[in-house]
Amino acid sequence: TDCSVVDLLSGKFSVGQVVKVKGWVRTRRDSKAGISFVAVYDGSCFDAIQAVVPNSLSNYEEVLRLTTGCSVMITGEVVESPGQGQAFEIQATGVEVIGWVEDPDTYPMAAKRHTVEFLREHAHLRPRTNLIGAVARVRNSLAQAIHRFYHERGYIWVSTPIITASDTEGAGEMFRVSTLDLENLPRNDQDAVDFSQDFFGKESFLTVSGQLNAETYACALSKVYTFGPTFRAENSNTSRHLAEFWMMEPEVAFADLDDVAALAEDMLKYVFKAVLEERGDDMAFFAQRIEKQAISRLESFISKDFAQVDYTDAIEILLQSGRKFEMDVSWGIDMSSEHERYLAEEHFKAPVVVKNYPRDIKAFYMRQNDDGKTVAAMDVLAPGIGEIIGGSQREERLEVFDARLEEMGLNKEDYSWYRDLRRYGSVPHSGFGLGFERLVSYVTGMSNIRDVIPFPRAPKQADY
Ligand code: 4AD
Ligand code: MG
């Protein structure tokens, strides 16, 4: 019977059963007694299965040439492992080499520790390492848990478009989508390119957020979410920004800011629990190799209530802290990560929801508060990473929304479909966006966001 490494190690097969395992060699060790120990992984779990290979095999010569990365099929009997660590191993009766590693001395993924920078330069081979394999499994587990969480609560998953005309965040950080005929581009500066026509006759971009589209479905199906790739053309070379990242955005009708703050807390706790349950093996590895607190901080995250603070009070806390920040603190600033981390890590020592930000630093769609100065916006700040979620209650009052558009110099006609939601059966509604890679970074402790997405897209980084 064919079986995966995880099924074998978790005891799905009984001792004495003959099984076949297909995978790649992690390591090989030979004993003087004429036995080789070949560790084989297939990515189904962190651990490799050990095959005990006797020199009586007809192709034992080949076994002695196996190196890290060779692909093999091992046939043999499941036996109890006498060694520590694992319950089972395979007493091999056959080892078939499926693919050799051409030149083991130059194979980049030799079984040793590599720097993350080195691995990034070999993005096509890095999933073979313990580290990136573990990241991939944890990432999957988190995504599946997110879908489960919403599905169990009756949310409808809506696919929102990637090509769009709307700059949701209004930050001018959009990648242009063009069908321009490169051959016939103007040759000199005088002939400006007409970008207003560039996508089959309509100026278009890659989406920065699915929110506006999700709102249309929330205003019909009540509880929806979107989860997909989003794009930001910000030229920032930091360890928490990508040009292409995945965002998960719930949108809820008849909900206010407090409702979605509670939703964010429930969701994060749910997915952290799920990953601790499902990926104990990988999480133990992250705790040992990457971030000592990887498991304990998730446990504490799950057991504590989030702190809640108004932006205005948060600014006061920063001012009273006596701390010298790189960026000066005053009411009205867009907090930077040093401020966010101070609040979460040193002041509240817990995840914190900051609410009611100055309207001047926030997007056009956010609901205005009665004070005239702030909007019903929130950010969730996690210790160790800073902003992980951004959200708000949306302005559902047409007159207030129109006044805001005008004040910001935005064109009513461009938002006609969005205004229709406010014209026909408008309801209070709210939502947020979770940066999926920020979440994976936080859970794994991987300090650079480029190491938690298979093929990172960042300034000067678009290979593969
Ligand atoms: O705060 P942001 O810009 O909010 C929105 O886009 C809203 N439309 C979401 C909504 O209300 N539906 O982005 C949301 C989250 C941030 O909190 C951050 O975690 C992540 O997306 N994010 C990025 N992650 C990686 N690289 C980038 N360049 C990111 N920009 C934002
Ligand atoms: Mg934000």
Give the pLDDT band (50/70/90) at residue 20: very high
Which atom of ligand 1 is closest in space to residue 389's alpha carbon? 17
Q: What is the pLDDT of residue 386?
A: 86
Which atom of ligand 1 is closest in space to residue 214's alpha carbon? 12
Q: Which of 209, 268, 442 best tests ligand 1's pocket when mutated (most atoms within 8 Å of CB)?
A: 209
The answer to whether 59 touches 93, Cβ cutoff 8 Å, is: no
Q: What is the pLDDT of residue 114?
A: 94
Q: Which one of the ligands is nearest to 211 CA?
A: 1
Q: What is the pLDDT of residue 178?
A: 83
Which atom of ligand 1 is closest in space to residue 449's alpha carbon? 25
Which atom of ligand 1 is closest in space to residue 388's alpha carbon? 19
Query: ∠ at Cα 142 (141, 143), nearest 5°?
Result: 95
pLDDT tens digits, one per residue of 175-220: 998 876 666 666 666 666 666 667 777 889 999 999 999 999 999 9
Which atom of ligand 1 is closest in space to residue 171's alpha carbon? 3
Closest residue (by CA) to atom 25 of ligand 1? 241
pLDDT tens digits, one per residue of 319-358: 999 999 999 999 999 999 899 999 999 999 999 999 999 9
Give the pLDDT band (50/70/90) at residue 84: confident
Taking Cα atoms as reference points, which of 401, 390, 325 lies closest to residue 367?
A: 401
Closest residue (by CA) to atom 4 of ligand 1? 390
Q: Which one of the ligands is nearest to 432 CA?
A: 1
Lining ligand 1 with CB less than 6 A are 168-169, 209, 211, 232, 234, 241-242, 245, 247, 249, 387-392, 431-433, 435, 437-438
Q: What is the pLDDT of residue 384?
A: 82
Name the percent of the chain in helix, strand, coil, to the closest 5: 35, 25, 40
Pairwise CA distance, residues 40 & 22, whole Å: 8
List the single range of 132-141, 186-195, 273-282, 455-464 with lowest mean pLDDT.
186-195
Q: Would residue 165 be called left, alpha or beta, if left means φ above 0 and alpha means ψ between -120 and 50 degrees?
A: alpha
Q: What is the pLDDT of residue 64?
A: 97
Residues 217-245 have a mean pLDDT of 94
> Percentage of the chain surpassing pLDDT 70?
96
Closest residue (by CA) to atom 30 of ligand 1? 241
Q: What is the pLDDT of residue 171?
A: 82
> How far apart are the CA of 399 and the centre of ligand 1, in A?
27
> How far apart are the CA of 373 and the centre of ligand 1, in A?
23
Q: DSSP 3-state assignment of 454?
A: coil
Closest residue (by CA) to atom 24 of ligand 1? 435
CA dihedral defined by 143, 146, 148, 153, rounded to 10 degrees? Answer: -160
The answer to whether 129 touches 99, Cβ cutoff 8 Å, is: no
> How far apart are the CA of 266 and the centre of ligand 1, in A?
19
Q: What is the pLDDT of residue 199?
A: 74
Q: Which of 247, 259, 267 best tests ligand 1's pocket when mutated (most atoms within 8 Å of CB)?
A: 247
> How far apart are the CA of 39 and the centre of ligand 1, in A?
41
Q: Which of 142, 236, 245, 263 best tests ligand 1's pocket when mutated (most atoms within 8 Å of CB)?
A: 245
User: In the 8-state DSSP scheme, what is residue 343?
Assistant: I
| Residue 18 scores a pLDDT above 80 | yes
> How far apart are the CA of 241 and the centre of ligand 2, in A?
12
> How far apart are the CA of 388 and the centre of ligand 1, in A?
8
| Residue 56 scores a pLDDT above 80 | yes
Q: What is the pLDDT of residue 193?
A: 67
Q: What is the pLDDT of residue 232?
A: 96
More confident site: 236 or 211: 211
Which atom of ligand 1 is closest in space to residue 380's alpha carbon? 17
Residues 132-140 have a mean pLDDT of 98
User: In the 8-state DSSP scheme, what is residue 126?
Assistant: G
Strand pairing class (35-41; 18-30): antiparallel
Q: What is the pLDDT of residue 457?
A: 93
Pairwise CA distance, residues 74 & 20, whole Å: 6
> How far apart are the CA of 311 and the centre of ligand 2, in A?
14
> How far apart are the CA of 33 and the centre of ligand 2, in A?
62
The answer to whether 6 touches 44, Cβ cutoff 8 Å, is: yes
| Residue 461 scores a pLDDT above 80 | no
What are the tokens at 26? 């992690």
pTM of the model: 0.95
Mean pLDDT over the full length of the chain: 94
pLDDT tens digits, one per residue of 409-427: 999 999 999 999 999 999 9
Q: What is the pLDDT of residue 197?
A: 67
Closest residue (by CA) to atom 5 of ligand 1? 433
Q: Would residue 430 be called left, alpha or beta, if left means φ above 0 and alpha means ψ between -120 and 50 degrees?
A: beta
> How far apart are the CA of 230 and the centre of ligand 1, in A?
9
Closest residue (by CA) to atom 26 of ligand 1? 241
Q: What is the pLDDT of residue 203?
A: 85
> How far apart are the CA of 367 and the centre of ligand 1, in A?
18
Q: What is the pLDDT of residue 459?
A: 78
